[in-house]
Amino acid sequence: NLTLFSKFMHRVFGLTRIMAFLDRSNIKKIDFYSTTGIEASNFKGKNKTSQPGSDMLVKILTLYPQLSAEWLLTGRGSMIKDSNIPIAQQATNSHDGIPLIPFSAMAGALTGENSVLEYECERYIVPAFNGADFLISVKGNSMTPTYISGDIVACQRVPMASLFFQWNKPYVLDTAQGALIKRIKPGHDKQHILIVSDNEQYDPFELPYSEIYAVALVIGIIRLE
């Protein structure tokens, strides 16, 4: 029955969008449940296929005014209202601010090479992300709906000597397969990690630690002024 299937997919994608919003906004699920009063069971088991109540949606949109109602309900438009995305102001001094690194130079930015960080790139001041080491533009659609192509994300390098992943967080990786922006989950053993795209059309795959050359945590999304 096409109607039942449509309702099922509406529910599933609605839950997916809520989870994507939490990830993009760095909101812990436990904090979300506590703030909204929504039970975690709503996102588990058979409840995943039940129709979301209007009370739940209204509560979420009221408590998180930065979230776009159109995007939550239909998937159209931007997830975050533009007025709620941190704005980056272009730095007037070449030594101030955070460098916006070309995608082709991302490997060097991850390792902190001075030649890359001193590259003739624009620099931006982003008070909301003082801990960021560099900015980079997202390419492709593998991380939609969390990040879309053209989004600018702020990244913080992770020391390889004491590499520690926060599972299910998005990272930028320099790997034997090239530069990747993906979500990281545990692999089948301690020598591997699972590389996961937010776009379900892209299958997850495992990557050995030995093929990871540099890592940065994605700490947020910004809008250029």
Looking at the structure, do residues 59 and 133 belong to the same domain, yes or no? Answer: no
Last residue of a domain, one of 84, 114, 138: 84
The CA distance from 219 to 173, in Å, is 14
Q: Classify 181 as helix, strand or coil.
A: strand
Q: Classify 151 as helix, strand or coil.
A: coil
Domain that holds residue 59: 2-84
pLDDT at residue 6 in the model: 41
* pLDDT tops 80 at residue 67: yes
Last residue of a domain, one of 84, 118, 143: 84
Domains: count for the chain: 2
Looking at the structure, do residues 53 and 93 belong to the same domain, yes or no? Answer: no
Residue partners of 38: CB distance under 8 A and separation at least 6: 32, 56, 59, 60
Looking at the structure, do residues 64 and 170 belong to the same domain, yes or no? Answer: no
Higher pLDDT, 199 or 51: 199
User: Average pLDDT, stretch 167-185?
Assistant: 90
Give the type of residue at 209.
Answer: Y
pLDDT digits (tens, 9 = 90+) for 148-165: 788 889 999 999 988 999
The CA distance from 22 to 18, in Å, is 6
Looking at the structure, do residues 133 and 67 belong to the same domain, yes or no? Answer: no
**Average pLDDT of the residues of the chain:** 80
Last residue of a domain, one of 61, 84, 107: 84
* pLDDT tops 70 at residue 1: no
The CA distance from 11 to 48, in Å, is 7
Nearest to 143 by CA among 202, 78, 69: 202
Residue partners of 160: CB distance under 8 A and separation at least 6: 212, 213, 214, 215
User: Average pLDDT, stretch 133-146?
Assistant: 86
Looking at the structure, do residues 79 and 99 belong to the same domain, yes or no? Answer: no
Looking at the structure, do residues 48 and 36 belong to the same domain, yes or no? Answer: yes
User: Average pLDDT, stretch 68-79?
Assistant: 79
Please check whether residue 184 is in contact with residue 196, taking contact to mean a CB–CB distance below 8 angstroms. Answer: yes
Query: What residue has token string 């390098």?
Result: 157
CB atoms within 10 A of CB 73: 14
Residue partners of 218: CB distance under 8 A and separation at least 6: 153, 154, 155, 169, 170, 171, 172, 181
